[in-house]
């Protein structure tokens, strides 16, 4: 382990807004703040927005700056990357930000039914050969539906056309009409919350990949299923053109 990562892990232990529950504990039971994030951590009744696979937390932090009347929680398993967002939020004394070092798979152990108002999925690993592992697969969407409030919103921003088409096919297969869909988000002026750009996004834009966007809500009384026979006819960029992301979504550091 490099000294840089080690120092970040050590500093992570000092951030009051960064929670690092043991995965085994979440797998077997619930996190202590489940159902009580507003009362016991944020100290308010404002709605909660999650960013899943938040990386360095840029989206979480920027949304929190834009919307002080909402609470924002970024979730990622990579502690060295979470360090950046946790450090920024701590230095700016942001009271509406938290981070959790955890796998997204155990999100229902972190949040109670109806506790979350919105979910952002920003530039996740497209998982070209493992549909079930995609953060917009029915396996994950069914878990999001458990924690979202009625009419809760999911946002998906990705540079992967394949993932965008897969998400649309999944929604269609389950009778869900997107609230908004864009194959090239920046072809026209984007709303302020959509115009936030992460370091990864800037790299993808510089490499010529159009940014796509989907906005949708999830039914709470229906188990979603995979789209039958989904096939993507376009090109799926190789690992070398995505800086090794196909073998591990974000293998480059900043």
CATH number at residue 42: 3.40.50.150
Report the predicted TM-score, pTM, of the whole model to 2 decimal places. 0.92
Give the domain range for residue 88.
Answer: 3-17+38-247
Contact 211, 159 (CB under 8 A): yes
Classify residue 32: in a domain, yes or no: no
Instruction: Supply the pLDDT for residue 30.
Output: 96
**Does 28 fall in a domain?**
no
Flag whether 203 is in a domain.
yes
Q: Does 33 fall in a domain?
A: no
Whether residue 102 is contained in a domain is answered as yes
Residue 252 lies in a domain: no
Span 97-153, pLDDT tens digits: 999 999 999 999 999 999 999 999 999 999 998 999 999 999 999 999 999 999 999
DSSP assignment of 88-151 equals HHHHTT-TTEEEEES-GGGHHHHS-TT-EEEEEEES----TT-GGGSTTSHHHHHHHHHHEEEE
The total of structural domains in the chain comes to 1
In this structure, are residues 82 and 18 in contact, taking their beta carbons and an 8 Å threshold? yes
* 104 within some domain: yes
On average, the pLDDT of the chain sits at 91
Give me the count of residues in the chain. Answer: 254
Catalytic residue among 25, 69, 125, 235: 125
Residue 253 lies in a domain: no
Per-residue pLDDT of the chain (254 residues; tens, 9 = 90+): 566 899 999 999 999 999 999 988 898 899 999 999 999 999 999 999 999 999 999 999 999 999 999 999 999 999 999 999 999 999 999 999 999 999 999 999 999 999 999 999 999 999 998 999 999 999 999 999 999 999 999 999 999 999 999 999 999 999 999 999 999 999 999 999 999 999 889 999 999 999 999 999 999 889 999 999 898 877 766 543 444 343 334 333 32
Tell me, yes or no, if 125 is annotated catalytic: yes
């Amino acid at each position: 382990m490099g000294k840089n990562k080690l120092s970040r892990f050590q500093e992570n232990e000092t951030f009051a807004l960064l929670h690092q529950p043991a995965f085994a504990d979440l797998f077997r039971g619930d996190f202590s703040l489940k159902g009580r994030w507003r009362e016991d951590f944020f100290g308010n009744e404002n709605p909660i927005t999650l960013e899943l696979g938040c990386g360095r937390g840029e989206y979480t932090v920027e949304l929190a700056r834009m919307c002080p009347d909402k609470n924002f929680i970024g979730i990622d398993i990579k502690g060295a990357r979470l360090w950046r967002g946790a450090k920024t939020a701590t230095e700016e004394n942001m009271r509406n930000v938290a981070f959790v070092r955890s796998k997204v798979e155990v999100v229902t152990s972190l949040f109670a039914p109806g506790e979350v108002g919105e979910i952002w999925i920003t530039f996740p690993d497209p998982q070209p050969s493992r549909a079930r592992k995609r953060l917009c697969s029915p396996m994950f969407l069914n878990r999001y539906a458990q924690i979202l409030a009625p009419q809760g919103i999911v946002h998906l921003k990705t540079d992967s056309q394949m993932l965008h088409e897969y998400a649309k096919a999944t929604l269609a297969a389950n009778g869900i009409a997107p609230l908004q869909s864009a194959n090239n988000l920046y072809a026209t002026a984007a709303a302020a919350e959509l115009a936030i750009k992460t370091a990864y996004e800037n790299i993808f834009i510089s490499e010529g990949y159009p940014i796509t966007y989907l906005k949708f809500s999830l039914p709470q009384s229906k188990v979603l299923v995979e789209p039958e026979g989904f096939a993507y006819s376009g090109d799926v960029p190789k690992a070398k053109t995505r800086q090794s992301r196909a073998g591990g979504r974000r293998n480059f550091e900043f």
